[in-house]
Chains A and B, each alone.
Chain A
Amino acid sequence: MLWLALGICAGRSAVATPQPGQPFPDWRAYELAGDVPDTQAAKVVIVDFWASWCAPCKQSFPIYDQLQREYGAKGVVIVAVNIDDDPRAMQRFLDRLRPGFAVVRDVAQKLVAAVAVPAMPTAFVLDRRGIVRFVHEGFFGERTRAEYVAEIETLLSENP
C-alpha cells in the first residue's frame, strides 16, 4: 500500500532533465522576459538557471562574467535564466553584480520546469547544434570554473 502511494507521488515529477547528447529545448519558444540573445552563430552556449535566493548563484556570476569577457569573441554566449517569483528580487541582484552577459527571466517558470533542473543553480553547456554536451549541477567556485574552461576549449576546437 505504501509503495503504491509513493509510486503515485513519484509519478508526478516524470519530466527528465536533458542529458549530454540530447537536444536542449528551444528556449526561445518559452515566455522569457528580457533581451533574448541570438545564438544562431554561437559555437558554445551556456544556459544557466539561477535565482536571487540561491547563494552559489552569487558566487557564479563573477565567474560567468569573466568567461564571457574571455571567450565572447570566440563564439561563446552565456545566457542566465532567472526563475525568481519577484522580478524586483532579480533586479536587486543584478544591480549589485552588474553582469556582462545576457540575463532573461523565465516569467512563468515553464522553461525551468521543462528541463527539470535537479538543483540550483544548474547550467547546460550546448554545442553549436544546440545539443547538451555538459551539465553542471550546483556551483563550486574554482573547480567549476576550470571545468567550464576545459569544456569550452573542447567545444571550440571541434569542427563545425
Chain B
Amino acid sequence: MKQAAVRRAFCAGAALLSAFLAGGCTTVQPWQRGNLADYTMRADRDALHTAMSEHVYFSREASSGGRGVGGGGCGCN
C-alpha cells in the first residue's frame, strides 16, 4: 500500500519535473530566423567538405544524394 503511494508520488513528481524542463522549449518565429538564414549556417557551404562527406557516405551506404532541402534556413515561403 505504502509502496504504491510512493510510486504514484514519484510518477507525479517526474511528470511535473518533465513539464517544468520542457517549459524551456521555444519556437523560433519566422521573423527571428535571420541567423539561421546566414550563409555560414549552410551545411553545404564548403564544396570540398561536401564532396568528401558524399564520398564517405557513398562508400558506407552504397547510395548517394538525398541531402538537399528546399528553402534554406530562413524557412521563407
Residues of A within 8 A of B (CB): 1, 4-6, 8-9, 12-13, 49, 51, 53-57, 83-85, 109, 112-113, 116-122, 138-140
- Are A56 and B77 interface neighbours, CB within 8 A? yes
Residues of B within 8 A of A53 (CB): 33-34, 37-38, 74
Q: What's the A-B contact tally at a CB cutoff of 8 Å?
A: 74
Interface residues contributed by chain B, number (CB under 8 Å): 23
Residues of B within 8 A of A (CB): 14-15, 18-19, 21-23, 25-27, 29-34, 37-38, 72, 74-77
**Secondary structure call for the A interface:** loop
**A55 vs B72: C-alpha distance when bound (angstroms):** 9
Check A12/B26 contact, CB under 8 A, given A54-B37, A121-B76.
Answer: yes
- Are B22 and A55 interface neighbours, CB within 8 A? no
| CB of B32 to closest CB in A, whole Å | 8
Residues of A within 8 A of B33 (CB): 53, 120
Residues of B within 8 A of A57 (CB): 76
